[in-house]
Chains A and B, each alone.
Chain A
Amino acid sequence: MAGREQHGMVQKRGVGHWFTHLGLIIGVLIIFFPIWLAFVASTVTQPEIVHPPMPLWPGDQFFNNYRDALVSGVNAPVAKMLLNSFVMAMGIALGKILISLLSAFAIVYFRFPGRKVFFWLIFLTLMLPVEVRIVPTYEVVAGFGMLNSYSGLIFPLIASATATFLFRQFFMTVPDELAEAARVDGARPMRFFWDILLPMSRTNIAALFVILFIYGWNQYLWPLLITTDPSMNTIVMGIKQMFPSGDDIADWPVIMATSILAMLPPIIVVISMQKLFIRGLVDSEK
């Protein structure tokens, strides 16, 4: 009796398994379809796109379209926009990681006057994302003459509490004895930070880097506001700028090629860092 019941359950799980997979495959196809269309559109000619029916299989214009996009683009070469986005995303990710590592280090390992106050001030910034403080931030950035510059794109987005919290939580799990052993070994605080805390945090840093890189890459509103010079456009906002105003015709193959190019760096970052994650998880150590 019990055996038959168990058998039935296994069978049911088997069928459920297939349904789950089928569901997932359909889901992936639905999500992937627009991306596929964008890819197809980036490999055909303008007339092929605007005359229905829409092509569903790639054409032979791949190299032409991508070369056009990268070298000349619509307002600015896409290669330049990719570079801008890359600088901005890297700047934001690395800047945030550096600042939050240092502030978490200060909060966890030092007793200084106003430690609580600083902690809560950092906490407060969680409630003030860029969009909320965008007008005063613009004023400040404009005042410093940082419009149309990398520093203007990066600095206002660096201050961040989330990452500080993450590192604070991690540092608090590091045994006190480790800091004491380092102190007995003669390591001054910053030496302890570089030699011991930083290497121990590397999987956290990798995870955060991925998240923050994508966050930086996908910024839209802020670059739109402060880059008026097309050569400083980032790619995500740049796509929007490629849409024609008035009677001009949209160069769809180039726009689609740009879209596809815009997707690649985050994917590359995720895939390459994923390996580091997994290695970090496998050699889990503290």
Chain B
Amino acid sequence: MATVKLSNLKKSFGKTDVIHGVDIDISDGEFIVIVGPSGCGKSTLLRMVAGLETVTSGEVQINGAGVNEMEPMDRNIAMVFQNYALYPHMKVFDNMAYGLKIAKTPKAEIAERVQSAAKLLQLEEYLMRKPRELSGGQRQRVAMGRAIVRKPDVFLFDEPLSNLDAKLRVQMRLEIKQLQRSLGVTSLYVTHDQVEAMTLADRMIVMNGGIADQIGAPLEVYANPQTEFVAGFIGSPATNFLPAALVSGAPAGTTVGVRPEHATLTTPDHGLVEGQVSYSEALGSETLVHLRLSSDAAFTVRQNGMEPAPEEGHACGVLWNSSDQMHFGADGRRIATP
């Protein structure tokens, strides 16, 4: 049972400002994903909540109390690291029990809590093994188990799945989501993978160079990106951006954004823009048609895999609904379409 509140949270390393003021109110049991490209300060933000990094200015509150000056152990949080950070010389059981042992939890209770976490994570047969005798996915589970047994107020995850192969990543993603739902623990989860962010988050924070560009529910962020960066980062393939001069009716000086899934191909002279097909990628369920527009800009159209894909060099027009067209000002911020 915990709420987390970040108020104008900032971080500098020496003279370099890394986090430029993040505000968010996280309610109890919420799953928040911090997403953004590498180096944008996601880990730094998470580590400030954990207490592993000092806060330069602003405040971190857990359950309404400021925790800026508290050690990680006193914040009642648990963290899952990218490289698992399991203690190599300890058996799985001891890895999971270590925090409880330090907290002087009675032996019987430790055993019981570790057993029930192991059961939840299907680790029961591995409790007496050393971490190096486990597969990547199992190590990941142990790292989660170590977090669970402590019954923390807040779970913190720093790219926990990025060392796993693609298939396992999808499976573990689902497991994490189910686990978090059933335990109802407030969670902050860092990832650079927008699919992970979309599937896991109740709300996500899209970070861009130390700024929280947008905070919102995944579908809301997808449908209504507030900045050019968010429009380009969330959604795959990425949004097409064109200068306003190329699109008739667009407000002068803006950048026009159109999602590939909102555009359709048509015959030349009938589209809003014209171009030639440079290549197509047929993925089965969908086909990505990459065009070179007459203005030399690149443009991608996503069409259903059942539709015939145009040949390379084929000239065509591109159409979209004007309601799907987004406009961004010179500062990258969204401009409300009149």
Contact = CB atoms under 8 A, between A and B. Distances in A.
A177 B103 contact: no
Given A185-B98, A191-B102, A177 B89 contact: no
A175 interface: yes
Contacts of B77: 184
B81 interface: yes
Given A180-B52, A285-B130, A187 B88 contact: no
B85 A285 contact: no
Contact of A200 (B71, B88, B99, B103): B88
B153 to A, nearest CB: 13
B79 interface: yes
Interface in A55-92: none
Given A175-B83, A177-B81, A195-B98, A184 B50 contact: yes
Nearest to A183: B72
Nearest to A198: B89
A185 B99 contact: yes
Contacts of A181: 79, 81, 85-87, 146
A177 B82 contact: yes
Contacts of B89: 196, 199-200, 285
Contacts of A47: none
A177 B50 CA distance: 13
B73 A186 contact: yes
A175 B98 CA distance: 18
Interface string A157-189: 000000000000000000101101111111100
A184 B52 contact: yes
A286 interface: yes
A142 B85 CA distance: 51
B221 interface: no
A199 B130 CA distance: 14
Nearest to A175: B83
Given A185-B73, A185-B98, A177 B78 contact: no
A156 B232 CA distance: 67
B314 interface: no
Chain A, interface size category, equals 10 to 19
A183 B52 CA distance: 8
B76 to A, nearest CB: 10
Nearest to A196: B87
Which of A186, A187, A195, A285 has the most C-beta atoms of chain B within 10 angstroms of its own C-beta? A186
B53 to A, nearest CB: 10
Which of B71, B78, B82, B98 has the most C-beta atoms of chain A within 10 angstroms of its own C-beta? B98
B181 interface: no
Nearest to B88: A285
Contacts of A175: 83, 85
A147 B146 CA distance: 54
A212 B132 CA distance: 31
Interface in A27-73: none
Contacts of A185: 73, 98-99, 102, 146, 150
Contacts of A177: 81-83, 85
A189 to B, nearest CB: 11
B87 A184 contact: no
B85 A183 contact: no
Contacts of A178: 85, 87
Which of A185, A283, A285 has the most C-beta atoms of chain B within 10 angstroms of its own C-beta? A185
Contacts of A285: 88-89, 130, 132
Interface in B146-181: 146, 150
Given A177-B81, A195-B98, A184 B88 contact: no
Contacts of B87: 178, 181-182, 195-196
Which of A183, A184, A187, A196 has the most C-beta atoms of chain B within 10 angstroms of its own C-beta? A184
A265 to B, nearest CB: 29
A74 B78 CA distance: 67
Nearest to B103: A186
Nearest to B86: A181
Contacts of A196: 87, 89
A21 B170 CA distance: 57
A279 to B, nearest CB: 13
Interface string A6-38: 000000000000000000000000000000000
Which of B71, B85, B146 has the most C-beta atoms of chain A within 10 angstroms of its own C-beta? B85
A285 B89 CA distance: 8
A200 B89 CA distance: 7
A184 B72 contact: yes
Nearest to B72: A184
A256 to B, nearest CB: 46
A199 B99 CA distance: 17
Nearest to B98: A185
A286 B88 contact: yes
Nearest to B94: A195
A81 to B, nearest CB: 39
Contact of B81 (A180, A186, A191, A200): A180
A183 B73 contact: yes
Given A181-B81, A186-B72, A196-B89, 7 more contacts: A180-B72, A180-B79, A180-B81, A181-B85, A183-B52, A185-B99, A285-B89
23 contacts: A175-B85, A177-B81, A177-B85, A178-B85, A181-B86, A182-B87, A182-B98, A183-B72, A183-B73, A184-B72, A184-B73, A184-B78, A185-B99, A186-B73, A186-B99, A195-B87, A195-B98, A200-B88, A200-B89, A285-B88, A285-B130, A285-B132, A286-B88
Interface of B: 50, 52, 71-73, 77-79, 81-83, 85-89, 98-99, 102-103, 130, 132, 146, 150
What are the nearest 7 A-B pairs in CB distance?
A186-B73, A185-B99, A177-B85, A181-B85, A186-B102, A285-B88, A199-B89
